[in-house]
Structure 1
Amino acid sequence: MSEKNEPSVWQGFKAFLMRGNVIDLAVAVVIGAAFTNIVNSVVKGVINPLVGAFGTKSLDSYSSCLKGPCTGTGDAATGVRILWGSVLGATLTFVITAAVVYFMMVLPMAKYLARQEARRKAKESTREIVEVSELEVLKEIRDALVAQRGSGHDRP
């Protein structure tokens, strides 16, 4: 590789890293990881006990046996066991996370952007009205001057 290609590659890499998108994405990943812990705690501390009021205390213990006698847990388990409780718990975690993200981040941001757009449109329409009214006033002044000039030339 030549020496002159390396600085351009390095500069391109620096420009890539300094883009706002990359930094925003990194911040989102860190916040998402922290937020996942909160949601998991809510599911384990609130949702699972509520479900446990109707059955076992943990969603993970809900399962169905497809084949053979299902005995034991982990590597010592025999038979074919479907752990549908784990899937249900993960689904609840996803739904809760999606609801919180939508109602606390997406919806307020959409409303904010809509208000900003409405303000921008209101300012543009106000400018158009001012420009139109200025044009009308100038036309009236022109017509008045033409009328005065016309009436002055008619006199002897």
Structure 2
Amino acid sequence: MWKEFKAFIAQGNVLDLAVAVVIGAAFQQIVSSLVDHIIMPFVGVILGGVDFSSLVFQFGDAQVEYGMFIQAIVDFLIIALAIFIFVKVANKLIKRRAEAEEAEEEMEEEPPASEVYLKEIRDLLSKQQESQPNDDKE
């Protein structure tokens, strides 16, 4: 079991996943700062100076902080939009690279025109030889 676990941990996918989690956490901090310090103040100004983080209402003895919920929704939407744009751009770049490689392979596979003509001439000559009666055997 230990050997299997070591093999699992040593796989590239696990290391890639660990790196993705760390980068994702850092990206989340950047986006949260963007939302908290840049976007939400503008949204607050547009809505008449409302600070979403301070929006609360009392329900009995409980204090419902729905402003924090609105803040979390905005965070999620901005993170989702940023990831969507990143994936869209990455897919476009990957597609361009694949198309370029395919075009390059097609160019490499096609022999030069002179070589194609020489092969056609060779084939025609060999057909002519086969169609002519062979006088050497008589």
After TM superposition, the score normalised by the length of structure 2 is 0.74
- 5+ residue gaps, structure 2: none
Report how far residue 41 of structure 1 moved.
Answer: 1.2
Superposed counterparts of 1:4-153, under 5 Å: 9-53=1-45, 54-63=47-56, 70=58, 78=60, 82-103=64-85, 105-130=86-111, 137-147=118-128, 150=132, 153=135
**Residues 35-68 of structure 1: CA distance to partner in whole angstroms, max 9, x if unpaired?**
11111111111122123223455212224x5xxx
Report how far residue 114 of structure 1 moved.
Answer: 0.4
> Where does residue 74 of structure 1 map in the other structure?
none
Q: Secondary structure at the match of 1:99?
A: helix
Structure 1 letter corresponding to 2:123: R
In structure 2, the CA distance between the partners of 1:145 and 1:52, relative to structure 1 (3 Å rule), is closer
Structure 1 letter corresponding to 2:53: D
Paired with 2:2 and 2:118, the residues of 1 have a C-alpha distance of 60
Q: State the identity as a percent.
A: 33
Paired with 1:84 and 1:25, the residues of 2 have a C-alpha distance of 34
Q: Structure 1 stretch 136-145 or stretch 84-93: which is displaced more?
A: 136-145
- 5+ residue gaps, structure 1: 1-8, 71-76
Q: Structure 1 stretch 140-149 or stretch 40-49: which is displaced more?
A: 140-149
Report how far residue 29 of structure 1 moved.
Answer: 0.8
Report how far residue 120 of structure 1 moved.
Answer: 2.9
Paired with 1:116 and 1:140, the residues of 2 have a C-alpha distance of 38
Paired with 2:70 and 2:2, the residues of 1 have a C-alpha distance of 47
**Residues 18-38 of structure 1: CA distance to partner in whole angstroms, max 9, x if unpaired?**
111111111111111111111
**Residues 118-142 of structure 1: CA distance to partner in whole angstroms, max 9, x if unpaired?**
1232234335543998566424213
In structure 2, the CA distance between the partners of 1:108 and 1:123, relative to structure 1 (3 Å rule), is same
> Where does residue 73 of structure 1 map in the other structure?
none
Paired with 2:113 and 2:70, the residues of 1 have a C-alpha distance of 63
After TM superposition, the score normalised by the length of structure 1 is 0.67
Q: Secondary structure at the match of 1:130?
A: coil
